[in-house]
A and B are shown apart, each in its own frame.
Chain A
Amino acid sequence: MELFLNILGAIATVILAFIVGMSYGGIVRKITARVQNRKGPPWYQNFIDAYKLYSKTTAIHHGWMHRMGPAFLMVSSVVTLMFVPVLNNGGWFENMNFQGDLIFLLYIMVFGSLGMALGAGQTGNPNSAIGVTRGLSQMVGFEIPWVMALVAMMIQYKTTSITGFIEVQQESGTWLMFSSPFAFIAAVLAMLGMFRYSPFDIVGAPSELASGPVSENGGKYLFTMMSSGSIFTFAKLTLYVDLFMGGANNLLVLLIKTFALYMVPVLYGLVSPRYRTEQAVRYFWGWPLFFGLLAIIYAVIF
């Protein structure tokens, strides 16, 4: 019975993540349009697109690895979501919060990209492979300040579990973005790369790579990738909120906090042109790395 309830909770979490992620995507499209002085699609446009993709039948495939690619991607987003505490008190959304820690999360987060990369590779489309190499290179870039920020916090608070960080914030009453500010800055700068908005949209690179690794996918495959992207966005945002902004006690607070955080890469992207790959990689080894180092020094001293 308990297992059954857990599975129900997990499904509820996934549905919540799907809805929130999709809506955020739509809102971002709207905001982008307004900034560019267009009218833009309605906020629910992504749901319409998803439904359209879902109802299409698939006619062709490029082999088994190609077919499994989206499933790999989904594994990574859903399993990541399972380990990120959605609400502070757990409740319906407790899932597997206590069974893994941050370092596990860092690794499961790349599981999907690698599986997706393999699927994209089998299509034989050169743009896919170029996109993948760019994505992997960029990942090496932003993981460094991101890990530095996490390591700084781990040594400061002597825990590696996400629930541990939430407890630390509840006990002290301050958010970690104030009590370890440099780690927060490094992590937010790393987040720019993680969300792949401009200037770091080198993987999909519209009008350059013809959407990169997702080209050659349509119908249900594209639907799965799109939903996976939305779920992953929600999971990552929630992770940041848990780590730096004290988590959330109810869904409304969670939405406000995640949305505010989400605007950082989105608004940064709106005013930035795209980097070349080596520029994108090196960007993260400049100021973000500096703040990461500062965070570690800060953590060692205090």
Chain B
Amino acid sequence: MNTIILIFIIFLAGAILTFLASNIKGLLKEVLFLASVIVPVVMFFTGVKAGDSFNFHLAGFAFQWEITPLGYLFALIVTGLGVMAAIYAVSAMQKTKNLGLFYFNFILSIMSMLGILFSRDLVSFFIFWEIMTWSSYLMVVYQGKDVQKVGIKYFIFSAIGAYAMLMAIVMVYSLTGSMMIDKMIQSYAGFAFNMQIIIPILFLIGFGVKSAMMPLHVWAPGAYSHSPMAFTSLFSGALSKMGIYGMVIVMAGMIAYFPEGHWFRIVIAWLGGITAVGGTLWAIAQDDAKKLLAYSSVAQLGYIIVGVGIGTPLAMLAALFMAVMHALFKGTLFMAVGAIEKQTGTSNFTEVTGLIRKMPLTFLASLMGIIALAGIPPLGGFVGKWMLYESLIGSDHYLLVIVIFFSSTAAFLYCYKFLFGFFLGQEEKEWEHVKEAPVLMVIPMIILAGGTFLLGTFPGLVIKPISAGLEQLGYAATQGKYWEMSMLFNEWGDQVVLEPILYAIIAVFAFFLVFLLIKNHKNTRYVSTKDISTSGEVPKEHENLTFIQNFFQPFLRAVEPLMKRQIDFYYNGFGKGIEALFDFTRRIYTGNGQTYALYAIIFVVIFLLLKTTLFGI
């Protein structure tokens, strides 16, 4: 039997079996859950390679599933993060009600994501897309909080995206008579001009919703923060990347023959840039870690959209590398928030402080995640940022590079807020009992954080498959021109050599750490955070001096004009307008027979007056 179909069958059967086993006591459901995630993933890594395919016919459509190099790259994100999140979930979701539903949706969303990546025809692409939307929707409303507000918002936007995509698919079918993605890409150049514009826009609305592109992002902060954190790491890390995958196909496949600097590309890139700035500024203003990371995800996907929008080889490399990195570090960070929430019962910075000595491993993972997020060398985030800047400068997008730089510098603010809010500051009696998270939750975090470290020095490990994926889309080979295993180049041949940088950093760090600690280490004693000098006054035991309320108030004051209006405001206005319109329509039905008779007469009169113009009678 073909391995591809076997993978899907195991996913599906595993999901159903886990669901059925959810009421049985003991570890059966956990074992089943882990098995039905890990077994297909192992099969994926051992049994299939790029180029494998599976074809069948059903209901008059030809279905084709094939593992393309690009799909393989994204499948690495999905399977890698999926396994880590699954291991984490088993420990994180203990003692939760309705566990069966959670496991069921979890497995289905991994399956549907792989399905999207393997589909080479639009029908199965769309079906898997809908399964993904539904399973993630059920996760968003899983905890039952604010279902009306958050769940409906996510659902409406997903529906808008899905209809837009469906419309595009139907148009493509009517124009080409085929549902194959390859066929669509090939014949795109022959479409009429209006179709050349409308079809990509409809597709991009569909993909833009999932990847939370401005102005379609409003569902994201709520949905990310309301799902269980075990799923959010996958939601933000992998599921949103499906939108990016679709965008890559549209931007690099369909409109590939639009030259660089075409207005269509620039509009998409600027949308990404605005998304990045808006997401960053709103992330700084949040006091809840989940919301902060959710807005940060919106911002990070903005960078990726910029890269995809620009579409030069270096920009594409940057975007896809950032997609992988984002999955790694945002997975880590959401898991860390989940761990803190589980141990303390809150994810609000203003409530919990000073966890660094209680949860040191979570702190370590978060620290690495944050350094990668901020893009500071020697961790992997830097590589993506570097390539993005170089590609923007090299392709003459001067203002966009400033916008991106602003956003990524401002990101330091919320990065520090995340670490300081949870881990640093004064230690409080209230949180003295807190212990490190269970080992099954810590291990996935550390592994993912370690991934960011490895890729910071040897980015070639991931750029190699990315490059293969781009070659499939028709780009020239980039190895040696833009990258080597541990080197990066820009358009003008300037380089960054990563390996010696890492060694230099480690050497200097180790030297000064030894310098600081030698002779001193044993004679120093630990003093609590109450034992500090605050202008000569020692704070009392009950005094909490932690500075966390209005943390970045001066900065937010400085950028106030940029944050005056939220896009929500306009959507709400639009919604109210539509409501008023419907209200007006309702009044047509007065319930009075005389009025209806009048309508009939008016209709006949209009018909008679306009019959020549309308029907030519």
Query: Measuring CB to CB, which residues of chain A are less than 8 angstroms from any residue of chain B?
Result: 57-63, 65, 67-68, 70-72, 74-75, 78-79, 82, 96, 98-101, 103-104, 107-108, 110-111, 114, 117-118, 121-127, 129-130, 132-134, 136-137, 139-141, 143-144, 147-148, 151-152, 154-155, 158-161, 164, 210, 215-216, 220-221, 224, 276-278, 281-282, 285, 292, 296, 299-300
User: Count of A-B contacts with CB under 8 A?
Assistant: 231
B482 to chain A minimum Cβ distance, whole angstroms, is: 14
Q: Residue B532 contacts which of A57, A100, A152, A216 (CB distance < 8 angstroms)?
A: A216
Q: Is B567 an interface residue (CB 8 A)?
A: no
Bound Cα distance A292, B398 (Å):
11
A160's partner among B494, B535, B545 (CB-CB below 8 A) is B494
Picked from B354, B424, B527, B558, the residue with its CB within 8 Å of the CB of A278 is B558
In the bound complex, how far is the Cα of B374 from the Cα of A148, in angstroms?
Answer: 20
Supposing A99-B495, A118-B419, A118-B424 touch, asked if A160 and B402 sit within 8 A by C-beta, the answer is no
Cα distance A98–B399 in the bound complex, in angstroms: 28
Residues of A close to B374: CB separation below 8 A: 110, 114
Residue B508, interface by CB 8 Å: yes
Known: A74-B508, A75-B505; 15 extra A-B contacts, CB below 8 A, are A79-B505, A96-B501, A96-B504, A104-B377, A108-B377, A114-B374, A114-B415, A118-B424, A124-B532, A132-B420, A137-B554, A154-B393, A159-B494, A160-B490, A215-B532
The answer on a CB contact under 8 Å between B558 and A103 is no
Identify the closest chain A residue to B525 (Cβ).
A60
CB-CB under 8 A from A104, the residues of chain B are: 377, 382, 386, 496, 501
Residues from chain A with Cβ under 8 Å of B558 in the complex = 137, 141, 277-278, 281-282, 285
Known: A114-B376, A117-B416. A99 touches B500 (CB 8 A): yes
Tell me, rounded to whole Å, the shortest Cβ–Cβ distance linking B140 to chain A: 33
A143 near B409: Cβ-Cβ < 8 Å: yes
A-contact bits for B373-394, CB 8 A (1 contact / 0 none):
0111100001001100110010
| Chain A residues within an 8 Å CB radius of B405 | 143-144, 147
Known interface pairs A60-B524, A96-B504; A210-B554 also in contact (CB < 8 Å): no
Q: List 15 A-B contacts (CB under 8 A).
A: A72-B509, A96-B501, A99-B497, A114-B415, A126-B545, A129-B420, A134-B554, A137-B555, A139-B412, A151-B402, A216-B533, A224-B512, A277-B558, A278-B554, A292-B402
Interface string of B569-599 (1 = CB under 8 A from A): 0000000000000000000000000000000
- A75-B512, A277-B555 known; A61-B526 Cβ under 8 A: yes
* B357 within 8 Å of A (CB atoms): yes
Residue among B419, B427, B516 making CB contact with A221, cutoff 8 Å: B516
B492 engages A111 (CB within 8 Å): no
B520 CB within 8 Å of chain A: yes
* Shortest CB distance A11–B (Å): 10
CB distance A144 to B426 under 8 Å? no
B504: chain A residues within 8 A (beta carbon): 79, 82, 96
Instruction: Decide if B520 touches A158 in the complex (CB within 8 Å).
Output: no
Contact partner of A147 (CB less than 8 A), chosen from B402, B535, B547, B555, is: B402
**B509 pairs with A75, CB closer than 8 A:** yes
Tell me which residues from 235 to 292 in chain B have a Cβ below 8 Å from any Cβ of chain A: none
**Contact indicator B524/A58 (Cβ below 8 Å):** yes
Complex contact B492–A158 (CB within 8 A): yes
- B531: chain A residues at CB < 8 Å are 60
Q: Of A62, A124, A151, which is within 8 A of B546 by CB?
A: A124
Contact B516 A124 (CB under 8 A): no
Cβ-defined contact, B534 with A62, below 8 A: no
A126 contacts B508, CB within 8 Å?
no
Selected contact of B555 from candidates A75, A125, A130, A278, CB within 8 Å = A278
* Chain B residues, CB < 8 A from A134: 554
Q: Which residues of B contact A67 (CB under 8 A)?
A: 513, 516-517
In the assembly, what is the distance between CA of A137 and CA of B412, in Å?
A: 9
Distance, CA A293 to CA B547, complexed state (A)? 37
Assuming the A-B contacts A63-B356, A70-B516, A140-B406, are A123 and B532 also in contact, with contact meaning beta carbons closer than 8 angstroms in the complex?
A: yes
Asked if B533 and A215 sit within 8 Å, CB to CB, the answer is: yes
Q: Is the CB of B534 within 8 A of A126?
A: yes
Most central of B410, B551, B555 by chain A CB within 10 Å: B555
* Interface size class of chain B, counting residues whose CB lies under 8 Å from the partner chain: 35 or more
Are B500 and A107 in contact, CB atoms less than 8 angstroms apart? no
Instruction: Give chain A nearest CB distance to B273 CB in angstroms.
Output: 14
Whether the pair A59, B377 counts as a contact (CB closer than 8 A) is: no
CB distance from A231 to the nearest CB of B (A): 11
Q: Of residues B425, B520, B523, B547, which shows the largest number of chain A Cβ atoms within 10 Å of its Cβ?
A: B547
Q: Which 7 A-B pairs have the closest CB atoms?
A: A124-B529, A121-B424, A277-B554, A137-B555, A281-B558, A99-B497, A124-B426
**Cα separation A101 to B491 with both chains bound (whole Å):** 13
What chain A residues lie within 8 Å of B409 (beta carbons)? Answer: 139-140, 143-144
Query: Within residues 418 to 435 of chain B, which ones have a CB less than 8 A from any CB in chain A?
Result: 419-420, 423-427
Residues of A within 8 A of B367 (CB): 118
B371 CB contacts on chain A under 8 angstroms: 114
Instruction: Mark contacts of B97-109 with chain A using CB atoms, 8 A cut-off: 1 yes-contact digit, 0 otherwise.
Output: 0000000000000
Shortest CB–CB separation between residue A121 and chain B, in angstroms? 3
A58 to B525, alpha carbons, bound, how many Å? Answer: 9
CB neighbours (8 Å) of A140 from chain B are 406, 409-410, 412-413, 555
- A277 and B519 alpha carbons, distance in the complex (Å): 40
Nearest CB to that of B396 among chain A residues? Answer: A155
Q: How distant is the Cα of A101 from the Cα of B494 in the complex, in angstroms?
A: 7
How close is A9's CB to chain B, nearest CB, in angstroms? 13
B185 contacts A by Cβ under 8 Å: no
Please state if B398 and A210 are interface contacts (CB–CB under 8 Å).
no
Checking A68, A139, A155, A210 against B534 with a beta-carbon cut-off of 8 angstroms, the contacting residue is A210
Q: Determine if A133 and B529 form an interchain contact, defined as CB atoms under 8 angstroms apart.
A: no
Interfacial chain A residues near B530, Cβ < 8 Å: 124
Check A164/B494 contact, CB under 8 A, given A79-B501, A129-B425.
yes
Contact A300–B398 (Cβ < 8 Å): yes
Residues of A near B520 (CB, < 8 A) are 57-58, 220
Chain B neighbourhood of A215, CB < 8 A = 532-533
Contact of B401 with A by CB under 8 A: yes
Question: Which of A57, A68, A160 sits near B523, CB closer than 8 Å?
Answer: A57
B56 at the interface (CB under 8 A from A): no
A99 to chain B, nearest CB (A): 4
With a cutoff of 8 Å between Cβ atoms, the chain B residues found around residue A101 in the complex are: 490, 494-496
